[in-house]
């Protein structure tokens, strides 16, 4: 029997969490996957967040993701 899952089209991470499946959320990328994938650069920047360093390149940015850009998320795979 196959268990339902959501596979991120960007990084390939697989989640069996029903909430992730329903909401199309990737826990590795820390973004909700929308139909206009890949996300625009604005998806990685949100001024309401404290400044943080990108987990890949160290660049400072404000946003919910652990990466400052789609390029860093892709390079860190």
Return the residue matching tokens 């929308």.
34
* Higher pLDDT, residue 36 or 60: 60
pTM of the model: 0.46
Contact yes or no for 50/34 (Cβ under 8 A): no
Q: Read off φ and ψ for residue 19, nearest 5 degrees.
A: -70, -40
Predicted pLDDT at 17: 93
CA atoms in the 13 A half-sphere facing the CB of 76 = 16
Convert the pLDDT of each residue in 6-46 to its tens digit: 988 878 899 999 999 988 898 988 888 876 555 565 665 66
**3-state DSSP call for residue 69?**
coil
């Amino acid at each position: 029997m196959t268990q339902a899952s959501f596979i991120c089209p960007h990084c390939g991470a697989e989640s069996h969490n029903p909430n992730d499946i329903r909401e199309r959320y990737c826990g590795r990328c820390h973004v909700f996957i929308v139909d206009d994938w890949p996300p625009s650069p604005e998806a990685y920047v949100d001024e309401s967040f404290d400044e943080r360093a990108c987990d890949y390149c160290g660049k400072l940015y404000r946003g919910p993701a652990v990466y400052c850009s789609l390029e860093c998320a892709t390079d860190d795979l």
